[in-house]
Amino acid sequence: MTEEIIIAGFGGQGVLSMGKILAYSGVMQDMEVSWMPSYGPEMRGGTANVTVILSSERISSPIINQYDTAIILNQQSMDKFESMVKPGGTLLYDPNGITRHPERKDINIYKVEASMEASNMGLTKIFNMIVLGSFIKIKPIVQIENVIKGLKKSLPERYHHMIPDNEDAIRKGMEVSVPVQLLS
């Protein structure tokens, strides 16, 4: 089993940390993992993306241009990565700020109103955990218990008091994604 994932959005949305928590969740399940960020001046405001690979086997290339799943959180990323989803693959996106919705007919498409749900919960910072929850519901590769363990591993201890909020957000995310297009 190998799952090749791209997570892409604005810098500051928590794209890289979401990928890191996902990678740690894989480690907790004894999987092979790689986490390859775009790095550079996109730290704040620009676009940021990270490739996460979870596999039961040794990972060959951490650098890829075809993905099983694309998690897309802004329009620039939609324009860049929609075409890079493998046929039969999955695209998960937050429609907030998206002006051109995905048009592919050969992939599964889901949407999650993560930014809306996050502001409803009064916790805009846990936006990325809502998205992560939706992903692990759609692709149950990692168990939620391992995601929580991954969260503990990747967050510095001074933020551990925020873990319950993050867990709530992940569980919320598992409930609120909506299929837009499902391949039969």
Partner 1 sequence: MKELRLMKGNEAIAEAAIRCGCDAYFGYPITPQSEILEYLMVEKPHERTGMVVLQAESEVASINMVYAGAGCGRKVMTSSSSPGVSLMQEGLSYCAGAELPCLLVNVVRGGPGLGTIQPSQADYFQSTKGGGHGDYRLIVLAPSSVQEMCDFVGLGFDLAFKYRNPALILTDGAIGQMMEKVMLPASVNRWTEEEIKQQTPWATTGKPADRPANVITSLELDSAKQEKVNQKLQAKYAEMEKNEVRFERIQCDDAEYLFVAFGTSARICQKSIDLARAKGIKVGLLRPITLFPFPKDEIEKLAGQVKGMLSVEMNAGQMVEDIRLNAKGKCPVEHYGRFGGIMPSPDEVLKVLEQKFIGG
Q: Which spans of this chain sit near partner 1 (rule: CB under 8 A)?
A: 20, 23-24, 27, 32-37, 39-40, 59-66, 153-154
Nearer Cβ to partner 1 (40/122)? 40
Nearer Cβ to partner 1 (56/120)? 56
CA distance 64 to 44: 24
Q: How far is the CB of 148 from partner 1 (least distance, A)?
A: 16
Distance in Å from the first CA to the final CA of the chain: 21
**DSSP assignment letter at 56:** S
**DSSP assignment letter at 95:** -
Q: How far is the CB of 62 from partner 1 (least distance, A)?
A: 5
Nearer Cβ to partner 1 (23/91)? 23
Sequence-ordered list of residues with C-beta below 8 angstroms from that of 65, at least 6 positions apart, any chain: 84
Q: How far is the CB of 61 from partner 1 (least distance, A)?
A: 4
CA distance 115 to 46: 18
Nearer Cβ to partner 1 (49/177)? 49
Is residue 75 within 8 Å of residue 93, measured between CB atoms? no
Q: How far is the CB of 80 from partner 1 (least distance, A)?
A: 14
